């Protein structure tokens, strides 16, 4: 496995699911890790678990990534504890309920955009400012995208637009900051199991849209064509390597086990 010894890594939405697996992969590779999540119950459970294994090599903060002041406080606390920031993984996201534009409420649209797109913008903004000013300037941003980033008919309107925006934010940030030693890339993921994404369906879903999406693609079969969380985490670790990040800058890598079948 690649080494992250001495690096400081921040992963958002990481008290469970994919984010937690990414964080633990970096911890196992020797990094100091900060995670944030809005769910304090999950935060507390992870803190109790990691205290037994990783001692002073982690920091956990309850943070709403759509709140600019809270994001800045998160970055400041990370640097105060570990001295610098090397890698940001923008993982925090929620699903919509598969509503198409005509049936998507303004409330749902705003909530999905706030977490899935405004959040990564705010963390990116705060991170690049820190990357620029720290001794040995530079850093790496890994954005977690989706099949919906480049396929227009994979989910509802809100989630689709938010994840397409992640691809645009990735390329725009990569283009401007590369000569400052700041590299940005995205992983466009397929179907996942073992995440908290189903929380978004607690109030139901737009069944007509869902059925049309499912009928338009090859079946999703957990255990067969889901993308393993551990594989995604290892790829994040790979992308964070100093010789890999520069050549990966601006890349939006489809990482979906070829589901739906292309």
pLDDT tens digits for range 196-215: 776 777 788 999 999 999 99
Reply yes or no: is the peptide bond before residue 260 cis, omega within 30 of 0.
Answer: yes
**pLDDT at residue number 222:** 86
Domain assignment of residue 80, yes or no: yes
Q: What is the rounded (10 degree) CA torsion for 82, 85, 89, 91?
A: 60
Domain assignment of residue 1, yes or no: no
Domain assignment of residue 231, yes or no: yes
**pLDDT at residue number 72:** 98
**pLDDT at residue number 1:** 54
Lowest mean pLDDT among 79-83, 149-153, 221-225, 233-237: 221-225
Are the C-beta atoms of residues 124 and 173 closer than 8 Å to each other? yes
Domain assignment of residue 262, yes or no: no
Q: Tell me the catalytic residues.
A: 159, 163
Domain assignment of residue 260, yes or no: no
pLDDT tens digits for range 164-189: 999 999 999 999 999 999 999 999 99
Domain assignment of residue 87, yes or no: yes
Mean pLDDT across 89-116: 97
Is residue 244 packed enough to be buried (19+ CB in 10 Å), middle (13-18) or exposed (0-12)? middle
Could you give the number of structural domains in the chain? 1
Domain assignment of residue 243, yes or no: yes
Q: Write the CATH number for 79.
A: 3.40.50.720
Task: Say what the pTM is.
Answer: 0.96
Q: Shortest CA distance to 149 belongs to which of 204, 202, 105, 93? A: 93
Are the C-beta atoms of residues 131 and 138 closer than 8 Å to each other? yes
Domain span at 107: 6-253
């Amino acid at each position: 496995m690649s080494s992250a010894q001495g690096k400081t890594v921040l992963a958002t939405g990481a008290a469970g699911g994919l984010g937690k697996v990414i964080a633990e992969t970096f911890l196992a590779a020797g990094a100091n890790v900060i995670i944030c999540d809005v769910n304090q119950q999950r935060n507390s459970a992870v803190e109790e678990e990691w205290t037994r294994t990783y001692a002073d090599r982690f920091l956990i903060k309850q943070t709403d990534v759509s709140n600019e002041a809270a994001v800045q406080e998160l970055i400041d606390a990370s640097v105060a504890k570990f001295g610098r920031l090397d890698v940001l993984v923008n993982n925090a996201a929620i699903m919509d309920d598969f509503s198409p534009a005509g049936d998507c409420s303004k409330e749902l649209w705003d909530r999905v955009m706030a977490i899935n797109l405004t959040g990564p913008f705010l963390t990116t903004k705060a991170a690049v400012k820190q990357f620029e000013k720290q001794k040995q300037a530079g850093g790496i941003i890994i954005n977690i995208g989706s099949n919906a980033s480049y396929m227009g008919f994979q989910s509802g309107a809100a989630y689709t637009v938010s994840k397409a925006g992640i691809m645009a934010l990735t390329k725009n940030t990569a283009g401007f900051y590369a000569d400052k030693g700041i590299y940005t890339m995205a992983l466009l993921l397929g179907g996942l199991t073992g995440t908290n994404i189903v929380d978004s369906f607690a109030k139901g879903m737009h069944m007509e849209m869902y059925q049309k999406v499912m009928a338009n693609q090859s079946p999703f079969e957990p255990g067969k064509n889901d993308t393993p969380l551990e594989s995604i985490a290892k790829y994040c670790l790979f992308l964070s390597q100093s010789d890999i990040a520069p050549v990966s800058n601006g890349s939006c890598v489809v990482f979906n086990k070829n589901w739906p079948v292309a």
